[in-house]
Amino acid sequence: MYSYNDFDEAFVRERVAQFSAQVERRIDGSLTEDEFKPLRLMNGLYLQLHAYMLRVAVPYGTLSAPQMRQLAYIADTWDKGYGHFTTRQNIQYNWPELKDVPAMLSALADVGMHAIQTSGNTIRNVTADQFAGAAADEIEDPRPVAELLRQWSTDHPEFQFLPRKFKIAVTGSSTDRAVTKAHDIGLRMVRNDAGEPGFEVIIGGGLGRTPMVGKIVRDFLPKADLLPYCEAIVSVYNVLGRRDNKYKARIKITVHENGLDVMRDKIEAAFAEKKAQFDGVDQEMLAEIEQHFAAPAFKTADTSGYEAARLANPAFRSWTDTNLAAHRADGYSIVSISIKKHGATPGDATSDQMGVMADLAEKYGHGELRISHEQNVILPHVHQSDLHAVYSALRAADLATANIGLISDIIACPGMDYCALATARSIPVAQEIAERFDELKLEHEVGPLKIKISGCINACGHHHVGHIGILGLDRAGVESYQITLGGSGMEDATIGERAGRGFSADEIVPAIERLVLGYLDLRHDADETFLEAYRRLGAAPFKAVLYPSDAKADAA
């Protein structure tokens, strides 16, 4: 894992000192709110419905055990004993007081973390496949280039005032767990005909009020050209992107309005110029960064105890069936810890739970943790002989829910329970759906199904790419929920289609239940997933179960 060098350390400490002085001057009245607001946003501090909110960057979703422990310490010391893991692999604290934020940032700096560029019209935290460096289907660990991009984009003088925020995602696998096609730049590692690794470069994806699937601007970019090419993309966008209308300012609109060919020509022209200015120092830095991400020393051990425990303990077996993924090393598994206990708030972990996860990472996981955009925590490297011990410890901490990828593994933004931008609540809807399907004991029968809930059109809850998406709106002063169907955030990225009129807060959970029970009747067999059935049958039969009275009226 990357650890700060003297430059990183000095830079982050200097920013903490600057912000401490800015907070002091705001409190003593020397700075107005208009002057202070951009300064606090540069440091990830928002003012929400009930309190300030501090958004802390978890670079490409990777944490060490001491970092996780420090996040727990911060939650206990300056917040209410928990943190919220977000769909951008970050963590948010919902209750800090203004005077305490400098101390929180200082505590983050102690473990090589910060909240810089987690807001504002800058390049945000670079996100990555949460299984990076562990996945069996990976070409290369994408995190060294993610770290290179982080260093390049942090305080990049040309890119501090972009037309709008800018998000980059990177994956090293053919299975896209990083939603690369819904980012301003998506980087998907591929091999060329000579077998060399490079990137398929995707631009102009995004969700929000105008959802767009990203478009491939370059089929194959040699790895060594990554920084000059990304710099070319962002510089073209910086000039061409609209600044007259906030809602048309993202690169997805720039690509849409100018056309992919025009964008490609401009990017390639800028790239030719930029490349000549890069003298190879980026590749020296990358080589140095790569050393930080060397694979851990994987062990070999007997796994017969694991198999025996699976046979003996049905609850453990169920958990291993849903929460493990294939690891590239023999005898190892990737463990997804569900932060989606039925009825709990998606993505919220208490400080005690963070402490348990940090301890497990240290004892059984080569010291590493990951945060997924699906708001779960991952132990990327666990030997199968240790899985039962890990499971038992998770169970004791209320963290052993066996539901990864199932209907209760719901993404939900904070919604109007916290967010000042929200138009309706998301969390209670997620809680009620999860509880309802737990009550019905149906979720394993239903199988893989991604429900994603956003509390406003900005789509932090990725509802457009949910197999079932739910968007909370304010309709004449009442919370109303609109359903979209058939979305996907994977390599087959698809924007879901609106099913029809919205449902009230009382109607939305029964509507989802009708939809899912309807799917069980409609599917070919138990192997056909919700998304596959939707793609085969189209929207009509699903709309008919969602709106039974309309179907009756049509038949009459």
Footprint of other proteins (CB under 8 A) = 26-27, 29, 32-33, 47-52, 80, 94-99, 345, 348, 416-418, 425, 427-428, 431, 474, 477-479
Closer residue to other proteins, CB minimum distance, 81 or 222:
81
DSSP label of 88: T
Least CB distance to other proteins at residue 427 (A)? 5
| CA pair distance 149, 132, nearest whole angstrom | 16
Which is nearest to 347 in space by CA: 86, 75, 81, 76? 86
Distance between first and last Cα of the chain: 65
Instruction: For residue 276, give both structure tokens.
Output: 């000549």
**φ, ψ of residue 153 in degrees (nearest 5):** -85, -20
Which is nearest to 355 in space by CA: 29, 70, 20? 70
Least CB distance to other proteins at residue 408 (A)? 16
Which parts of 92-142 fold into alpha helices (H)? Answer: 101-109
Least CB distance to other proteins at residue 142 (A)? 34
Half-sphere exposure of 60 (CA within 13 A, CB side): 27
Least CB distance to other proteins at residue 141 (A)? 36
Least CB distance to other proteins at residue 516 (A)? 23
Q: Do 337 and 325 meet the contact criterion of CB atoms below 8 Å apart?
A: no
Q: What's the Cα-to-Cα distance from 108 to each of 12, 18, 81, 307, rounded to whole Å?
A: 9, 15, 16, 41
Closer residue to other proteins, CB minimum distance, 386 or 417:
417
Q: What is the three-class DSSP state of 499?
A: coil
DSSP label of 123: B
Least CB distance to other proteins at residue 342 (A)? 14
Least CB distance to other proteins at residue 201 (A)? 40
Closer residue to other proteins, CB minimum distance, 79 or 368:
79
Closer residue to other proteins, CB minimum distance, 290 or 474:
474
| CA pair distance 251, 193, nearest whole angstrom | 30
Least CB distance to other proteins at residue 94 (A)? 8
Closer residue to other proteins, CB minimum distance, 388 or 425:
425
Closer residue to other proteins, CB minimum distance, 323 or 431:
431
Closer residue to other proteins, CB minimum distance, 453 or 533:
453
Closer residue to other proteins, CB minimum distance, 281 or 476:
476
Closer residue to other proteins, CB minimum distance, 8 or 438:
438
| CA pair distance 45, 30, nearest whole angstrom | 19
DSSP label of 174: S
Q: What is the three-class DSSP state of 219?
A: strand
Which is nearest to 540 in space by CA: 549, 551, 529? 551
Least CB distance to other proteins at residue 30 (A)? 10
Q: What is the three-class DSSP state of 288?
A: helix
Q: C-alpha angle with apex 515: 514 to 517, nearest 5 degrees?
A: 65
Instruction: For residue 213, give both structure tokens.
Output: 């699937």
- Identity (one letter) of the amino acid at 257? E
Least CB distance to other proteins at residue 47 (A)? 6
Q: What's the Cα-to-Cα distance from 514 to each of 14, 167, 469, rounded to whole Å?
A: 55, 36, 15
Least CB distance to other proteins at residue 460 (A)? 16
Closer residue to other proteins, CB minimum distance, 50 or 299:
50
Closer residue to other proteins, CB minimum distance, 295 or 420:
420
Which is nearest to 449 in space by CA: 405, 508, 484, 496? 405
Least CB distance to other proteins at residue 470 (A)? 16
Pair type for strands 45-47 and 478-485: unpaired
Q: What's the Cα-to-Cα distance from 294 to each of 280, 479, 491, rounded to whole Å?
A: 22, 49, 27
Closer residue to other proteins, CB minimum distance, 80 or 514:
80
| CA pair distance 412, 429, nearest whole angstrom | 9
